[in-house]
């Protein structure tokens, strides 16, 4: 019912939105001598604010049509390498022959926003890397005939994508996918898969939410699973391709995001209004671009959302060594031939300090000289992967780390010091996780077929080598 109410409210606001837009456009007449007066600027600013507040934000365009390589502009085309019911493997193909540069798979979070949230991350790596990204689909647009989507399916997707891309891929997982990315790497290592990533960079991910819990962690772990099923899981109504699908609606997720920093969002909109009145077009455009992305949300598959709540926040299965994939235990210590880097933001209020860095200790089979940790000073959650500090401080270190990772049995020539941060002592979990309701539990499935086997990179003679903003992006 809430899904329908939200849709009806947005539909009822459409005339207000159209009226505000038309009024704003009418008030801007280049030949009008009062066009740049304080009164007209104030009226136009008021109308634009109403227009934006009543708008319904769809998936933004990537807008990455070119990049600069060796001082020359190179065109970019979007190529779907592999299409699955809930995700496309998207390649940003650079139209220049003879480029032999490292492959990077960016795992975008399936947490309410579209993959375009990582536009700035992709753009920073385009000049010197072959970039691929997981482009998750809006669950409301996936027909029921395509089946449901669980945490184990997420892991299977990642393994399949990595096998499609082949060996020597570098993985960047941003926030929520850090957990399934580690599980996928462990399963591939357990089966000696030749497509095990050369390196994995985990950025602000909730590996162990018992360490320095944040408001998000408290919200997720402070309720039992039945509460989430009863209060935030809904069926997609008619009018969408995924009619009947059980989803966690994007508008509920957005409400949670906004309520965490309500004062900040209010002050930014007041600043937007004053920038428009003052005629500060550059600042106003920055606000538009950020909120066009921030306010565009997608529905998540209910089964995946509930699996994540249970496994990551209630059971803390990964750091406890209790994680399973299709009924089989996952052994993170099996990962021995992959470099790993963790990145955290000093001011991150979504993923607490130490929650990601603990992966370095959990993956005990990886040599210390192939581990690295970076804590970005003065950076919030979004600043970890976007904005000025990301471009100037974080991205260069990630690229350096990737260049140092051994690939294809050959030792890297770049030596970096290993910097491993000792995470804080984890707290005991305060909540005992309940079993999921049978209506939302995926029927038992046979174990996934083992990936192709091979001898690890280490057995081929590869020596271990050293590899060593606040929330709004600038």
CA distance 266 to 290: 14
381 domain residue, yes or no: yes
How many beta carbons lie within 10 A of that of residue 255, not counting itself? 13
Same domain for 23 and 152: no
Report the first-to-last Cα separation within the chain, whole angstroms: 39
Task: Specify the CATH number for the domain of residue 210.
Answer: 3.40.50.1820
* pLDDT tens-digit profile, the chain (474 residues): 678 787 788 888 899 999 999 999 888 877 778 888 888 899 999 999 999 999 988 889 999 999 999 899 999 999 999 999 999 999 999 998 888 899 999 999 998 899 999 999 999 999 999 999 999 999 999 999 999 999 999 999 999 999 999 999 999 999 999 999 999 999 999 999 999 999 999 999 999 999 999 888 888 878 889 999 999 999 998 889 999 999 999 988 888 778 777 888 999 999 999 999 998 889 999 899 889 888 999 999 999 999 999 999 999 999 999 999 999 999 999 999 999 999 999 999 899 999 999 999 999 999 999 999 999 999 999 899 999 999 999 999 999 999 999 986 444 434 444 443 334 444 333 333 333 433 454 444 444 444 444 334 433 333 333 333 444 443
79 domain residue, yes or no: yes
CA distance 177 to 24: 42
CA distance 448 to 199: 24
Same domain for 417 and 286: no
Same domain for 218 and 360: yes
441 domain residue, yes or no: no
Strands (E), 33-110: 66-69, 72-84, 87-94, 103-107
Same domain for 316 and 180: yes
- Residue 414 has which token pair? 């770049």
Domain assignment of residue 265, given as a range = 2-56+250-294
Alpha-carbon Rg of the chain, whole angstroms?
23
Q: Is 200 exposed, middle or buried (0-12, 13-18, 19+ CB in 10 A)?
A: buried
Same domain for 126 and 39: no
Domain count of the fold of the chain: 2
274 domain residue, yes or no: yes
Same domain for 281 and 213: no
193 domain residue, yes or no: yes
- Residue 220: the pLDDT is 81
**401 CB-side CA count, 13 A:** 28
Same domain for 306 and 285: no
459 domain residue, yes or no: no
Same domain for 217 and 141: yes
H helix intervals, 279-341: 281-294, 302-308
Same domain for 137 and 78: yes
93 domain residue, yes or no: yes
Q: Which of 275, 294, 313 is the last residue of a domain?
A: 294
Same domain for 102 and 89: yes
Same domain for 165 and 132: yes
**Tokens 């790596």, residue located:** 125
- Residue 332: the pLDDT is 97
Same domain for 418 and 403: yes
- Residue 473 has which token pair? 């992006």
457 domain residue, yes or no: no
Q: Which of 294, 329, 346 is the last residue of a domain?
A: 294
How many beta carbons lie within 10 A of that of residue 230, not counting itself? 10
Q: Which of 392, 408, 427 is the last residue of a domain?
A: 427
């Amino acid at each position: 019912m809430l899904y329908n109410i939200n849709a009806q409210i947005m539909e009822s606001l459409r005339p207000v939105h159209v009226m505000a837009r038309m009024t704003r456009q009418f008030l801007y007449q280049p030949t009008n001598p009062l066009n740049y007066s304080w009164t007209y600027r104030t009226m136009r600013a008021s109308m634009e604010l109403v227009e934006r507040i009543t708008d319904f934000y769809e998936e933004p365009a990537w807008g990455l049509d070119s990049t600069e390589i060796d001082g020359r502009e190179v065109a970019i085309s979007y190529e779907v390498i592999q299409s699955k019911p809930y995700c496309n493997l998207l390649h940003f193909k650079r139209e220049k022959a003879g480029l032999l540069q490292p492959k990077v798979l960016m795992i975008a979070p399936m947490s309410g926003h579209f993959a375009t949230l990582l536009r700035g991350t992709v753009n920073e790596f385009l000049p010197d890397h072959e970039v691929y990204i997981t482009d998750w689909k809006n669950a409301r647009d996936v027909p029921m005939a395509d089946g449901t989507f669980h945490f184990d399916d997420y892991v299977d997707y990642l393994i399949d994508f990595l096998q499609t891309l082949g060996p020597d891929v570098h993985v960047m997982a941003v926030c929520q996918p850090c957990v399934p990315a580690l599980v996928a790497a462990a399963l591939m290592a357990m089966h000696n898969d030749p497509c095990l990533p050369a390196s994995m960079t985990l950025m602000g991910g909730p590996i162990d939410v018992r360490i320095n819990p944040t408001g998000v962690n408290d919200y997720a772990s402070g309720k039992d699973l039945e509460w989430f099923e009863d209060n935030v899981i809904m069926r997609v109504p008619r009018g969408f391709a995924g009619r009947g699908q059980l989803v966690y609606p994007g508008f509920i997720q957005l409400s949670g995001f906004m309520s965490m920093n309500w004062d900040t969002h209010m002050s930014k909109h007041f600043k937007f209004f004053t920038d428009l009145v003052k005629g500060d077009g550059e600042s106003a455009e920055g606000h538009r671009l950020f909120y066009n992305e921030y306010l565009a949300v997608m529905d998540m598959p209910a089964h995946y959302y509930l699996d994540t709540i249970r496994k990551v926040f209630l059971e803390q299965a990964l750091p406890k060594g209790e994680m399973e994939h299709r009924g089989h235990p996952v052994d993170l210590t099996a990962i021995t031939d992959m470099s790993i880097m963790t990145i955290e933001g000093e001011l991150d209020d979504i993923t607490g300090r130490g929650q990601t860095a603990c992966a370095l200790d959990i993956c005990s089979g990886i040599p210390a000289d192939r581990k690295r940790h970076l804590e970005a000073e003065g950076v919030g959650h979004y600043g970890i992967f976007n904005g000025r500090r990301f471009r100037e401080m974080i991205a260069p270190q990630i690229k350096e780390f990737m260049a140092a990772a051994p690939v294809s049995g050959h030792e890297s020539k770049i030596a970096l010091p290993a910097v491993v941060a000792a995470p804080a002592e984890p707290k005991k979990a305060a909540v005992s996780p309940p079993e999921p309701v049978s209506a939302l539990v995926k029927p038992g499935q046979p174990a996934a077929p083992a990936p192709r086997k091979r001898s690890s990179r280490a057995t081929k003679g590869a020596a271990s080598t050293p590899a060593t903003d606040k929330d709004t992006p600038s």
